Amino acid sequence: MSDDAVSLGELSTPGAVGGTGPDQSSGGPHLANTPLAGLAVLDLSTTLAGAFAAQFLADAGADVTQVERPGGTALRAFAGWPSFGRRKRSVVLDRTSEAGSAAVIG
């Protein structure tokens, strides 16, 4: 992995790399007793349906990390993006590069 690549394992705090920040972060004490508490989900979706599905998982307590391409996801142009991006942390990775692929695959 190159020096500028971010390992997904390094994301210990919401908003660590271009993330949403603490007010919209996943997890927290208010989600501790939810059905999916403790489940980690990697959101690689590029469509509105995928973002919506990942939002449901986050609402059910899953710790969702959304992987966006450099420049951000095109989904941010939708008026409903704040709703679909809630309770998710976000990281920017170029999945077409060797380092980005290695970060996603592990």
Backbone phi, then psi, for 67, in 5-degree steps?
-100, 120
- 32 has pLDDT over 80: no
State the pLDDT at residue 15. 39
The answer to the question of residue 68 being in a domain is yes
Domain that holds residue 29: 25-105
The answer to the question of residue 94 being in a domain is yes
Side-chain-facing half-sphere of 60: CA atoms under 13 Å: 11
The answer to the question of residue 13 being in a domain is no
The answer to the question of residue 5 being in a domain is no
**Residue 106 or 86, more confident:** 86
Radius of gyration of the chain (CA): 13
State how many domains the chain has: 1
Q: What confidence tier does 28 reach under pLDDT thresholds 50, 70, 90?
A: low
Residue 56's domain is classified under what CATH number? 3.40.50.10540
